[in-house]
Amino acid sequence: MSSAKYQRILLKVSGEILAGEQGYGIQPSVLEGLADEIADVVSLGVEVAIVIGGGNIFRGIAASATGMERASADYMGMLATVLNALALQNALERKGVMTRVQSAIEMRQLAEGYIRRRAIRHLEKKRVVIFAAGTGNPYFSTDTAAALRAMEIGAEVIMKGTKVDGIYDADPLTTPSAKKFTELPFLFVLNHNLKVMDSTAISLCMDNNLPLIVFNLKEKGNLRRVVQGEKIGTLVTPGGR
């Protein structure tokens, strides 16, 4: 199978993936591998937008739990996502992929401000658009930013790249007997409090009929397989089984 099933996608990448085995910061080999995966999908003619987290550098929720004011901690987390976005932009452009970083927090010397119509034009010109700084608001996660941006740009699907190969009824890394789901409805995810995306993001997807695919981004070639329609990972839809 060589053709793509989706024309426009939003890829959600957690910051923790960029940390690799070192557990913090950006591991260059992981960054290069991610850029290769994205470049491969772009070569199929797919329009790719990306929302990237910042947990490899700073987590606002974790900082607020230790006494830091939540709003300040969240703004610091947003700045961490900008660092990751700029690193990914550099890795992609070294591979010949044209990109734009759009930030929800204005910083003209580093990135464009987020403008919906401009983002769509970039995608139509086959530029990868990396959305940084979440929604620009504290108390909203990058998962919620991914759902919001996906709907704004008319993405056909959100693809959430994680360290595991789908959604399980328990953590497969600590519970070997955990059961994997191949397809689920959004309501099941909400009612069973499955830690896939936060409830705000899941509700946005459900209310707007935006499917979500959760898959293992660390396995080489998986992003291309998902884009081509192979049934890997877990598909979450309004009417899933």
pLDDT at 2: 57
Share of the chain above pLDDT 70, in %: 98
In a domain? residue 1 = no
Share of the chain above pLDDT 90, in %: 83
In a domain? residue 2 = no
| Strands 99-103 and 128-132, bridge-based pairing | parallel
Averaged pLDDT, 134-159 = 97
Averaged pLDDT, 138-142 = 95
Averaged pLDDT, 212-233 = 96
* Whole-angstrom distance, CA of residue 167 vs CA of residue 180: 6
* Whole-angstrom distance, CA of residue 207 vs CA of residue 238: 8
In a domain? residue 3 = no
| Strands 47-52 and 99-103, bridge-based pairing | unpaired
Closest CA to 166 of 219, 112, 128: 219
In a domain? residue 204 = yes
pLDDT at 238: 87
Q: For residue 128, give its domain range.
A: 8-237
What pTM, to 2 d.p., does this model score?
A: 0.94
Count of domains forming the chain? 1
Alpha helix (H) ranges present in 126-198? 142-153, 186-191
How many CB atoms sit inside 10 A of residue 126's CB?
13
Under 8 Å CB-to-CB from 37, ≥6 apart: which residues? 217, 220, 221, 222, 223, 224
Whether 118 has a pLDDT exceeding 90, the answer reads: yes
Residue whose token pair is 């941006």 = 149
pLDDT at 240: 59
pLDDT at 84: 97
In a domain? residue 101 = yes
Whether 61 has a pLDDT exceeding 80, the answer reads: no
pLDDT digits (tens, 9 = 90+) for 2-18: 589 999 999 999 999 99
